[in-house]
Amino acid sequence: PNLSQANQAHRKYPYLLKGLAIQRSNQVWSTDITYIPMAKGFDLCAVIDWHSRKVLAHRVSISMEVDFCISALNEAIEKYGSPEILNTDQGSQFTSDGFIDVLKSNGIQISMDGKGRWVDNVMVERLWRSVKYEEVYLKA
């Protein structure tokens, strides 16, 4: 719980996806971090396309620093171009200046979940369920 603590000094952006029809790839991406509970646990960050549900890039880290999130985002942009919108939660990694600068410099609109609203980022949350229940918990 509470993997992505908000930094109160960072700006929060409004949620842009309510009522939006997702009709094509690169329209909306989302990203998130989850903890993988293993003997030497680590954090997993993934970028996913909402239309195709394809994982565009991912990174693992043993710390909660923003660098691995930026690295995954940059790889996704290099491979697939920029999305119109990127949705995240309000965790400090995603509200950090470094992460926001990558979005702005690529002309990506910023959307953030409401506080405590996991359902606002349901595509990536469903990915975490699949990863954990189909891989981690069975094979750890």
Q: How many angstroms separate the CA atoms of 97 and 99, rounded?
A: 6
Residue 135 CB neighbour total at 10 angstroms? 11
pLDDT by residue (tens digit) across 43-95?
889 999 999 999 999 998 988 789 999 999 999 999 999 999 999 988 889 99
| Long-range contacts of residues 38-46, Cβ cutoff 8 Å, at least 24 apart | 38/136, 38/140, 43/3, 43/68, 44/131, 45/69, 45/72, 45/93, 46/72, 46/124, 46/127
Indicate the SS3 state at residue 55: strand
Q: What's the confidence (pLDDT) of residue 35? A: 86
Its pTM stands at: 0.84
Q: What's the confidence (pLDDT) of residue 62? A: 86
Q: What's the confidence (pLDDT) of residue 3? A: 47
